[in-house]
Structure 1
Amino acid sequence: MREFFLPVVVAGMIAASPLAAQDISVVYLRQDVPPPPTLSNLDPIPGDLGQRGAELALQDNATTGKFMGQNWALEIVTVPEGGDYLAAMQDALAKTDLMLLDAPAEQLTAAADLAPNALLFNVANADNALRDDACRANLLHTLPSRAMKADALMQFFVKRRWTDIAMITGEAPGDVAFADALDRSATKFGLKIGKRKTWAFDADMRRNAAQEVPLFTQDLGDYDVLLVADEANDFARYIPYNTWHPRPVAGAEGLTAHAWDRVVEQWGAAQLQSRFHDLTGRDMQDVDYAAWAAIRTLGEAVTRTKSADTATLRSYILGPDFELAGFKGRPQTFRTWNGQLRQPMPLTSRAALVAQAPLDGFLHQRSELDTLGLDKPESACSAFD
């Protein structure tokens, strides 16, 4: 009995032993930029925006990873205003080639060119060009582009038959870029933006909105919906209920499109939001979600491939078997032509979920999620070929 029993015990111990340890290190590399001037300080930008989403995802990865022999580590590196982002990138490359990048577009493309064999995730920049002619094969995007936000709004307008559209645009570069995305999206969905004005006020709208906004919007005439392109929400918050004609407002205020919003409660979203709030004491925002999605993407890829090799991970992430359960009702995958994460877009007001794009009836031969953002024929990205 002893001679028979001992090999069985040993075999059982071997079967129950953990897999060979894998050490996976990720760097979150953030460039500090001057905050945009705003008329209101009611919604300050959190100093830990993005990185707390990465921290939550790392906890999620560690929960699964401990059974797989995975040891996850996250380092947050912040480059001060005017600091050398590429030098910080070079230092980070000495530790890992898996990184989350939070920086302006120029730094992102330069960083990607510096590390062609790294696997990088853009978690904070919505610039369409990064998914278009300025794309890089080693740079994936978990934050939705401006085009995705614009398309989500236009689908809602089509469903509601809001065909007469007016627009107010701020003067900041991001405002102009968002207005361009809205124009392009309107054309894509057979709509047209009619009368428009540029917001050039520097007065304190907290005191003057009731007097200034009606006069400012009077010559827009009548319309079904008023779009506001104001990415910093500098003046947009003062537009609803102050327009000359009582009409819905969308874009930067009123009906808005997001990667994530606290009002989303279905599909387990409330549980994710609750865990994030327990960790941070605040609500999850778009960049937090994008950082969470990037780390969870890596966690899923490492678990499925049982590898921490960068090329292996990239191939799996862009392959047909990858899916990310993102708490938004549909599996999320990456576009193979520009590295953008396909994802549903909640359309919300400040208090409720209004709809979630893609809306019913907007079909696509590959995935309805590809009705949001740059589809393959629309993107000039060739790096992924």
Structure 2
Amino acid sequence: MIKRCVIGVSVAALLSVLPAAAKPLRVKFGVLRQPHSSETLSILDLPAEDDTLAGALIGVADDNTTGRFTGQSFEAIDEKLASGEDAVAAAQRLLDQGAIAVVADLPAGDLLRVADALKARDALLFNVSATDDSLREEDCRANVIHVAPTRSMLADGLTQYLVWKQWRRWLLIKGSHLEDELFAKAIRASAKKFGAKIVDERIYVDTEGGRRSDSGSVQTQRLIPPLTQGAGAYDVLIAADENEVFGNYLPYRSFDPRPVAGSAGLFPTSWDASHEQWGATQLQNRFRKEFRRGMNARDHQAWVAARMIGEAATRAGSADPKALSAYLLGPDFSIAAFKGVRLSLRPWNRQLRQPILLSDGRMTVSVSPQEGFLHQTSELDTLGVDKPETKCRLQ
């Protein structure tokens, strides 16, 4: 009897702060996702068939828990692109099926094309995977909300920890792909920002081998030691390897015994399947029970996007994209994401403020922003491009 009373009071308290729904409201959003490469260095990193979608489905279930009390229901429509399929046409199909928003797991170029195509239809686009700073800067769009962190946020999260540890001298090894250079650029900017020093920089050229099928004579003991030899005195070996060509070969194979960070070793991420703090175990357990695997960063970002849609629709009492956008960008919006603080949007470029986890793949080693890195508005704004430096002019 006591338990029933407590539950009744909790529901009453919830309903008292929510707008009364004039009629049942059904909210649909699409999940537009690209196929991810299975060319990974470790068989443990092979992408799941339901990658990204699984997080959105858990988010929909959470939205519907609240929706049962407010007369609202939520539905996610899956649209997985085939290789070479046009993302714009797929996004249009989702809107034709009644989606008022699209949770997008797309590369930067496709994301921009979809954003421009959907502008005339007043649909919101939630970016849950592209980390390109340009999407929040010179190529920013008013109808795109960025749940995924930027490369500069990831780099700053890692740098703050290394500087806090007084590991300020780095050897940077980058891959030969464009994405590797973009991450290396973020690392260089972060080192300058927080007072670290890159003592040497080297390039690992992708020979397009079979990766996991290579015998070891190409990319392991015989190649890594000379690549890392003669760099002088340094504290940490930083890898910029977004295409997973060489980064995981660096630990235990470098010429000097040094920790590895960046794309391997200690890596910055928005989420990791090993994260347990601040009640995250509850979400991890639910996810694992439902999908029989760990929750990765794309899954979590899709979950956050689904929760943002649910929260905005509930608070605004509407499924109108303009009403949702107004609430999300307003002063009252914040959302819990099992990361220690409530998250909010940077109104000048639509980027979600969030802590950055530092993980070794087995556990969370630390969480940035680190102690002592202060900001006049939010310590989360010490991560990434801040408002005074932004190049964003929303279109």
The two structures have a TM-score, normalised by structure 2, of 0.89
Aligned to 2:107: 104
Q: Distance in 2 between matches of 1:18 and 1:226?
A: 56
Query: Equivalent of 2:30, from 27, 38, 41?
Result: 27
Q: How does 1:38-77 map to 2 (within 5 A)?
A: 38-77=40-79
Query: Equivalent of 1:366, from 353, 357, 377?
Result: 377
Deviates more, 1:214-223 or 1:139-148: 214-223
1:102 is displaced (CA, Å) by 1.5
Q: How does 1:296-335 map to 2 (within 5 A)?
A: 296-335=307-346
Q: Distance in 1 between matches of 2:322 and 2:294?
A: 35
Computing the radius of gyration from Cα coordinates, the structure with the larger value is 1
1:147 aligns to 2:158 (yes or no): no
1:189 aligns to 2:194 (yes or no): yes
Aligned to 1:84: 86
SS at match of 2:159: helix
The two structures have a TM-score, normalised by structure 1, of 0.91
SS at match of 2:301: helix
Q: Distance in 2 between matches of 1:368 and 1:40?
A: 35
Q: Distance in 2 between matches of 1:223 and 1:27?
A: 47
Q: Distance in 2 between matches of 1:351 and 1:218?
A: 29
Deviations 1:349-370 (A, max 9, x none): 1222111000110111110001
Aligned to 1:119: 124
1:207 aligns to 2:216 (yes or no): yes
Deviates more, 1:83-92 or 1:235-244: 83-92
Query: Equivalent of 1:245, from 238, 252, 256?
Result: 256
Aligned to 1:9: none
Q: Distance in 2 between matches of 1:72 and 1:264?
A: 27
Aligned to 1:227: 238
Q: Distance in 1 between matches of 2:252 and 2:383?
A: 29
For 1:82, give the aligned amino acid: G
1:39 is displaced (CA, Å) by 4.6
Q: Distance in 1 between matches of 2:315 and 2:106?
A: 30
Q: Is the 8 A contact 2:64 2:74 kept in 1?
A: yes
Deviations 1:236-273 (A, max 9, x none): 11111111111111001111111111222111101101
For 1:158, give the aligned amino acid: V
SS at match of 2:228: helix
1:36 is displaced (CA, Å) by 6.9
Deviations 1:306-328 (A, max 9, x none): 22111111011011100101001
Q: Is the 8 A contact 1:222 1:245 kept in 2?
A: no
Deviations 1:94-124 (A, max 9, x none): 2223111111211111111112221110011
**Aligned-pair Cα RMSD in Å:** 1.8
Q: Is the 8 A contact 2:199 2:232 kept in 1?
A: no
Q: Is the 8 A contact 1:98 1:310 kept in 2?
A: yes
For 1:207, give the aligned amino acid: G
Q: Distance in 1 between matches of 2:150 and 2:21?
A: 41
Q: Distance in 2 between matches of 1:264 and 1:42?
A: 17
Aligned to 1:198: 203
Count residues in correspondence. Answer: 368
1:197 is displaced (CA, Å) by 0.8
Unaligned runs of 5+ in 2: 1-14
For 1:122, give the aligned amino acid: N
Deviations 1:115-166 (A, max 9, x none): 2221110011111110111110000011111111100011012101112111
Q: Distance in 1 between matches of 2:206 and 2:178?
A: 16
Q: Is the 8 A contact 1:19 1:68 kept in 2?
A: no
- Identity, in percent, stands at 42
SS at match of 1:346: strand
Q: Is the 8 A contact 2:31 2:53 kept in 1?
A: yes
1:210 is displaced (CA, Å) by 2.4
Q: Distance in 1 between matches of 2:21 and 2:308?
A: 23
Q: Distance in 2 between matches of 1:239 and 1:115?
A: 43
